[in-house]
């Protein structure tokens, strides 16, 4: 059994008396690609917000690599090695593709002006090394030919790949992808699936929140199913087909899109 990298226990969150998440408990093993699925209103996005610091639960606990996350800011959590995406890709619109990815690799943002002056030669060497690493990352995601293009000019699918390139540059330990297939054409969808597999091959743990069930079945070794704020099942996708609670949760839904 792989060690649990992310542990969520009895997580609860209400909004105006509505229970978005209730006693939610699950663990994500290190080194695996895990799907998080459920109908609209199941509580998936709320859980992701609570885990990544964009919300605070009413009760419960979240531990990442043994460290508690509740009360930590999103930027602190990301520096710990947990990075999440959003349903709509976020990029620095008026920077080039190259600069967007370079910013994800910045190592010296906290250095003082004096340190930057005294260590200028070392910093230049590091920056050149970073540029080399970023060029390789852009090649990996098929973006090398767009390195000097402003991010605002990219298509929706290209922006998603740019987001993945920035994740790769940051070298996280856990990645949460929030609906990565949303609005993506089939060709780029294949590339996104390959990128998820590459993240896993690089040693990252990946959580995929997605309505596209064929994508989940193809990319995820284990699936967590939520409904009405609770986890109702967890296991391999093939074992969930005959689970009555899972079938009921998806009753009437288009199985090609969840």
pLDDT at site 125: 66
Q: Which residue has the higher pLDDT, 252 or 83?
A: 83
Residue 138's nearest CA partner among 118, 166, 112 is: 166
Q: Is the pLDDT of residue 114 over 80?
A: no
Strand partners, 224: 36, 234
For 192-216, write each residue's pLDDT tens digit: 999 999 999 989 999 999 999 999 9
Q: Could you tell me the two tokens for 17? A: 């008396």
**Percentage above 90 pLDDT, the chain:** 64
* CA dihedral sign, ordered 111, 114, 116, 122: negative
Q: Is the pLDDT of residue 184 over 50?
A: yes
Q: Is the pLDDT of residue 110 over 60?
A: no
Residue 48's nearest CA partner among 178, 174, 237 is: 178
Q: What is the pTM of this model?
A: 0.86
Q: Could you tell me the two tokens for 106? A: 């910045």
What domains, with CATH codes, occur in the chain? 4-90+171-249 (3.40.50.300), 92-153 (no CATH)
CB-based contact 169:137 (threshold 8 Å): yes
What confidence tier does 255 reach under pLDDT thresholds 50, 70, 90?
very low
Residue 55's nearest CA partner among 43, 46, 66, 67 is: 46
Give the HSE-up count for residue 62: Cα atoms under 13 Å, Cβ half-sphere: 22
What confidence tier does 106 reach under pLDDT thresholds 50, 70, 90?
low
What are residue 189's phi and psi, to 5 degrees? Answer: -60, -40
CB-based contact 156:165 (threshold 8 Å): no
pLDDT at site 256: 40
Q: Which residue has the higher pLDDT, 76 or 250?
A: 76
For 119-175, write each residue's pLDDT tens digit: 555 556 667 778 888 999 999 999 999 999 999 999 888 888 999 999 999 899 999
CB-based contact 84:48 (threshold 8 Å): yes
């Amino acid at each position: 059994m792989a060690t649990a990298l992310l542990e969520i226990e009895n997580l609860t969150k209400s909004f105006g008396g509505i229970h978005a998440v209730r006693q939610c408990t699950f663990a994500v093993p290190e080194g695996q690609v895990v799907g998080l699925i459920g109908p609209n209103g199941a509580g998936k996005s709320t859980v992701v917000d609570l885990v990544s610091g964009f919300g605070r639960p009413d009760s419960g606990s979240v531990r990442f690599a043994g460290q508690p996350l509740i009360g930590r800011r999103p930027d602190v959590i990301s520096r710990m090695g947990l990075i999440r995406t959003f349903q709509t890709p976020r990029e620095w619109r008026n920077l080039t593709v190259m600069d967007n990815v370079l910013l994800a690799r910045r190592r010296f943002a906290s250095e003082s002006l004096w340190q930057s002056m005294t260590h200028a030669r070392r910093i230049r060497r590091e920056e050149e090394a970073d540029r080399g690493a970023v060029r390789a990352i852009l090649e990996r995601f098929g973006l090398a030919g767009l390195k000097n293009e402003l991010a605002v000019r990219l298509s929706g699918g290209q922006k998603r790949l740019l987001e993945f390139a920035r994740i790769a540059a940051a070298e996280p330990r856990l990645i949460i992808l929030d609906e990565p297939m949303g609005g993506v054409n089939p060709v780029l969808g294949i590339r996104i699936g390959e990128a998820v597999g590459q993240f896993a091959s690089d040693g990252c743990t990946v959580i995929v929140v997605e309505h596209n069930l064929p994508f989940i079945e193809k990319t995820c070794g284990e699936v967590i199913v939520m409904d009405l704020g609770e986890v109702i099942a967890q296991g391999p996708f093939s074992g969930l087909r005959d689970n009555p609670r899972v079938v009921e949760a998806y009753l009437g839904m288009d199985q090609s899109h969840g």
